[in-house]
């Protein structure tokens, strides 16, 4: 039984030594509202939205179609060696379509990642998983290294959330936005035993066990 325990321990340590899969490095959450988080948008181009008690309303009054909102997430303080993906979770209420010249608009909002507050990335904005659904929703969007500005975002340590609309008159209330950063965290000061060291340790324990018999 002791031999089985030794073998299991060595197997577990070897698995830890060889595993290098992506893990959650850090989370940054923005809860919008008065006295809570005010998006960068209000300081840069605030005419397209307004801050309320428990949400930020992204509206279309006085705004042309295109980029109507942005906010930034600074993750430069996180300790990481490599970043493989970002997951952005939004809680919002996309208001119903309104009549415009007797017709119902097919207005769509697209979620766009960017590296700065000036230019939202145009990459794949027509993809179904980058578009907001109607009604009260909590949706998660994944952005990985297939994104054209992914490397620039990682290098700058800043992820910018943009919303762009295709036209029409439709607003929505954004309650929160949470950015999860996935990848390889920075190495800790505790060294991980090399596979060769683990093998020698295993043989030594096995020999000691056989000798006691």
Q: Which residues contact 199 (CB under 8 A, 6 or more apart)?
A: none
Integer angstrom CA distances of residue 125 from 43, 111, 208: 25, 7, 63
* Least confident range of 26-40, 55-69, 78-92: 55-69
List, for residues 27-54, the tens digit of each pLDDT value.
999 999 999 998 887 654 456 778 899 9
Better-scored residue on pLDDT, 77 or 111? 77
Residues 96 and 208 sit within 8 Å (Cβ to Cβ): no
The pLDDT value given to residue 3 = 45
Under the phi-then-psi rule, with left for phi > 0, alpha for psi from -120 to 50, and beta for the rest, what region is 173?
Answer: beta
The pLDDT value given to residue 198 = 55
C-alpha Rg value of the chain to the nearest Å: 25
List, for residues 123-154, the tens digit of each pLDDT value.
555 555 688 888 889 999 999 998 888 999 99
Q: Is the pTM of this model over 0.85?
A: no
Whole-number mean pLDDT of the chain?
Answer: 75
For the chain, how far is it from start to end, CA to CA, in angstroms?
A: 13
The pLDDT value given to residue 23 = 96
Per domain, the residue ranges of the chain are 22-186
Question: Hey, which residues does 99 pair with through a beta bridge?
Answer: 104
What are the φ/ψ torsions at residue 101 (nearest 5 degrees)?
55, 40
Give kind and range of the element (H or E) at residue 99.
Answer: strand 99-100
Which CATH number describes the domain made up of 22-186? 2.60.120
Angle at CA of residue 138, ends 119 and 130, nearest 5°: 40
Better-scored residue on pLDDT, 154 or 209? 154
Mean pLDDT of 63-84: 84
Residues 85 and 123 sit within 8 Å (Cβ to Cβ): no
Integer angstrom CA distances of residue 143 from 127, 177, 183: 12, 15, 12
The pLDDT value given to residue 10 = 42
Residues 172 and 57 sit within 8 Å (Cβ to Cβ): yes
């Amino acid at each position: 039984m002791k031999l089985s325990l030794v073998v299991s321990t060595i197997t577990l340590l070897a698995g830890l030594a060889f595993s290098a899969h992506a893990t959650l490095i850090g989370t940054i959450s923005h809860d919008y509202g008065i006295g809570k988080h005010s998006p960068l948008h209000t300081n840069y181009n605030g005419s397209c939205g307004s801050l309320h008690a428990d949400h930020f309303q992204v509206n279309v009054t006085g705004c042309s179609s295109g980029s109507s909102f942005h906010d930034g997430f600074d993750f430069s303080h996180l300790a990481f060696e490599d970043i493989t993906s970002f997951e952005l979770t939004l809680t919002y209420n996309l208001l119903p379509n309104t009549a415009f010249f007797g017709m119902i608009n097919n207005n769509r909002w697209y979620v766009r990642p960017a590296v700065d507050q000036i230019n939202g990335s145009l990459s794949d904005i027509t993809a179904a998983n980058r578009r907001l659904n109607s009604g009260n929703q909590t949706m998660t969007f994944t952005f990985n290294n297939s994104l054209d500005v992914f490397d620039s975002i990682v290098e700058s340590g800043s992820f910018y959330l943009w919303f762009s609309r295709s036209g029409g008159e439709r607003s929505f209330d954004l309650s929160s936005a949470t950015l999860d950063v996935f990848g390889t965290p920075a190495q800790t000061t505790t060294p991980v035993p090399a596979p060769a060291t683990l093998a020698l340790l295993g043989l030594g324990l096995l020999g000691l066990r056989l000798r006691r018999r």
